[in-house]
Structure 1
């Protein structure tokens, strides 16, 4: 285990005519929040702007707790953002567990920086990359099964009521809650380190360069996690390409490989071809294969919906939808089941209001109607995915026996 870092390290960097003061903080330290208050207090630094290690969505969640009440669940389902929303909620549950253990809300120093910047009427610069982009780039860096392990481990591990371990505390003292939360469940941390840490160092350096060049600030105070201090300082010292091109490149989500784009359609062609061949052998064989497909695929998707405590009609809808949606890669069983559950059990204002507290416990995910819709989508999708392969093996086995 690494030795604890010195409290609140400070480094200076020069970008053109702009002096940038980098304050390294620990997200679970009251001392870090106090240091920010000192630097932005009456006897603190003379700065023209304050930068924080936040993206727009994370800043909004801090300053506008009611934002979740405006969440459009239909849009989340339609745009297939369920996994990102679920991961964000799980991360929030992890942060709440830390708050309960240490008596300080993670990111308290960022809140102080935002509050004092507003009080002093200083521009507030949000320099971190959007959380959703970071998560998608991280997922792209690992294989399917490692991705599944990461997501399931995130949900299971972050929702436990056990105290944060000593090793996790040391990571948090170094100031990056994303790396602490996600790297614990990755078999290969190097594949996650780049999108979670290195790329964000590059992104934040580019954002600081961009603001310095465009606005001509004389001095900026940047409040960042201590784990980013060294990398960010090195990035600012380098002769980098234009900030705009760096930001654009790091904001791109790599598309899936050509193989994975074509694979679902190829699978559909194979399944339909097997059905057709079965019917040419005999009508009875063909209908038996169809029955296997419907019962296995639909049954497992319905089982997933049932495990998520879905409405009985949602379970029935998952059973009926899965055999058909598995033959149409543009729509999934989870989209149908999630939309049905949302229609049958529309969340109340109270569900949205209590969502953050409810998702801190495993039982709360099932109790709250908002999070339960997400679970219905995820479980019915996984059930259909498993059912597609098991049913495929079953109908092929009928042909060869």
Structure 2
């Protein structure tokens, strides 16, 4: 039971907030559950810091998210060439979509997403106590969530992300505040887990375990023991799981955190399926030449026309520059000879080189991706769109070419 139900000395703003107190290894963790877009949550963080003394403040943030809050303009320094070359276009796009959704909520309620986390960091700095960033890197969480589900669920994830950007329905602030009620959260997450246990594990359960391990690790590193107190500001959805793990987790905290922070191993079967398809197609082209030079030339032409043509179509749909479109057409057919570099990556790098993003593109990026036309108007967004549409077009072209080549032989 929450101590807020029985402690009449608490400020009024805290009496309806989900607060749990857990003592582990002599350290008392005061865990405050918050809603990430809520004025009341910000007031609750300020109130508990003013009401009680703490030796550290832990927040549900990773280094990159904390940096983003401290320096909201940092993303303007993003190097698109490096993002594409390092294969991070998907993660960047997903992060931008999520931030766009949060921005819409912020505009609706006049408060920035995660303002209660920033209030925790600011309050700790004002009192001269350390700030602990205990959440797992958001990129790792997104990768683990993505790799935890099958192909159809991945389409569902992408569809949900896209829908969240363009959804314009107003969300009542009272509904956000209701998310703090423990029984509602438990039932909601139980239903979520029933429908997608792997997603629940990646997005919620693993992070609960990671944050519990990080809290224990940080306390040990700081030499905290009997009588030390730590305020933990987390989303209310993690309150129950985190507190339970703080009480029961027995693994070495450093090893546990390192295990959960590891990037998921890449699945090898999609790669081998793609390689097998291409090998089969080229064997078929070789057999076509064996049967007849004209038949082989036609098969090779089909490969170039379909892979290059669909790649070109993807570039055209993305509104690419003519040079980027030409790069897509050339890159599509030779994809098998440069594994690891998608044709969309080559076309997108040409796009970023020809139409270098302006300062204004970065300044309006979050606003632009919230509108359909914005993806084509903004040079950063259009480069990412070019990457995805050209890559997708190449895949369609490979399968289409394969079907036509095999049909021509039998």
TM-score (norm 1): 0.91
The change in CA–CA distance for 1:346 and 1:162 in structure 2 (over 3 A counts) is same
Q: Unaligned 5+ residue runs, structure 1?
A: 1-5, 176-182
2:287 aligns with one of 246, 258, 277: 277
Deviation at 1:161, TM superposition (A): 4.4
What is the aligned partner in structure 2 of residue 311 from structure 1?
Answer: 321
Deviation at 1:162, TM superposition (A): 1.3
Deviation at 1:212, TM superposition (A): 1.0
1:331 aligns with one of 341, 365, 378: 341
2:389 aligns with one of 356, 379, 393: 379
Residue 368 (str. 1) matches residue 378 (str. 2): yes
Residue 62 (str. 1) matches residue 69 (str. 2): yes
Question: Residues 265 and 329 of structure 1 are in contact (CA less than 8 Å); yes or no, is this contact kept in structure 2?
Answer: no
What is the aligned partner in structure 2 of residue 29 from structure 1?
Answer: 38
Deviation at 1:328, TM superposition (A): 3.5
CA deviations on 1:196-244 (whole Å, 9 max, x unpaired) are: 0000000000000001111123111000011100000000010420011
What is the aligned partner in structure 1 of residue 399 from structure 2?
Answer: 389
Greater alpha carbon shift after TM alignment, 341-350 vs 359-368: 359-368
What is the aligned partner in structure 1 of residue 141 from structure 2?
Answer: 134
What is the root-mean-square deviation of aligned Cα atoms in Å?
2.4
Residue 123 (str. 1) matches residue 143 (str. 2): no
Deviation at 1:79, TM superposition (A): 0.8
What is the aligned partner in structure 1 of residue 169 from structure 2?
Answer: 163
Structure 2 CA distance, aligned partners of 1:172 and 1:318? 49
Question: Residues 338 and 374 of structure 1 are in contact (CA less than 8 Å); yes or no, is this contact kept in structure 2?
Answer: yes
What is the aligned partner in structure 1 of residue 54 from structure 2?
Answer: 47
Residue 340 (str. 1) matches residue 342 (str. 2): no
Residue 13 (str. 1) matches residue 31 (str. 2): no
Deviation at 1:61, TM superposition (A): 1.1
Structure 1 CA distance, aligned partners of 2:390 and 2:191? 27
What is the aligned partner in structure 2 of residue 94 from structure 1?
Answer: 101
Question: Residues 159 and 362 of structure 1 are in contact (CA less than 8 Å); yes or no, is this contact kept in structure 2?
Answer: no
CA deviations on 1:247-299 (whole Å, 9 max, x unpaired) are: 11111222233433433332332222111011101111111111111111111
Q: Unaligned 5+ residue runs, structure 2?
A: 1-14, 182-189
Residue 105 (str. 1) matches residue 112 (str. 2): yes
Q: Aligned pair count?
A: 386
Structure 2 CA distance, aligned partners of 1:162 and 1:79? 34
What is the aligned partner in structure 1 of residue 269 from structure 2?
Answer: 259
Q: Any runs of at least 4 consecutive aligned residues in structure 1 with deviations exceeding 3 A, and if so which?
A: 164-172, 183-188
Structure 2 CA distance, aligned partners of 1:239 and 1:82? 36
